[in-house]
Amino acid sequence: METQTHERLKRWAAALLIDQGYLAVATEVRCPISRYRVDVAGYADRPADAGPISPGPLFEAIASSAGTTSKPSREVRTVVIECKQSRGDFLRHRREVQALLARRDRLDAARERYEQTRLPVEEPHLRQTGSALFAELEQWDFTASRSAGYRRIIRRLRRVERQLYGETKFSMIARYRLADRLYIAAPAGLIQPDELPAGWGLLECPKRALRREASIGSETAPVRVSRAAPSQMSPARFRQRLLRNIAIAATRMAFTAPGRDGSSTTPSRQTPNGPPGA
């Protein structure tokens, strides 16, 4: 059963996205290509109404352009947020964290060397031609690599991540770029930046805010960006699927929320020949 702290973390994270101008936001959203669900997901295709959050914007590509003469970006952007309420909820092998983090960093450095030097030469077909205006900014689909050495590194990274976090959701979401930005939301001080999975940023919520209900829309979310997430540049097809899944999750939330009398607002199914249950 979900705890009150976890539920409030999700609501505050959702409130932050709304504050930042995201047009579609929902909780418990299915990933574009797997059965995993993320705690919160958001979609934006216009500039945010609010300015960036200090010490850095949640999503600078859609930050308000107030005070500038340049035209605001209207590029589509997506974000997913995973909420962790305790150390035990985030890290599984806490006694071996430092050793596992060091091993992960070594493997991640090896992965980067492959992607920057070897794979572009050995597998030039992985370049996604036309993905950027300038050739040097074009993206590469390294997930399709058939390099034995590279795939071995990826398998080892997954094993380390499973040992650290008890699952491979973090690496899967980051590797396949299922959203443009990836964040973990947690109570302030719970997670150290160097403990974050590769490709993820950190949002922190004051503990005092988690002791009360999150009233979305009536006040500014107290969540702050502790470490900005790197841009993943998610493929357009994943952005579209995530928007679809956000719509499904939001619809599910709207029609299963309790009414004022405590009853569900889910509409009754009617049969062709009579009232419900006939």
pLDDT tens profile 12-21: 999 999 888 8
Give the pLDDT confidence score for residue 21 in this predicted structure: 85
* pLDDT above 90: percentage of residues in the chain: 37
Report whether pLDDT(95) > 80: no
Write down the domain spans for the chain.
1-91+171-261, 93-165
Q: Tokens representing 85?
A: 């309420």
Mean pLDDT of 98-116: 89
* Tens of pLDDT, residues 173-224: 988 899 999 999 999 999 999 899 988 999 999 998 888 776 665 667 889 9
Report whether pLDDT(119) > 70: yes
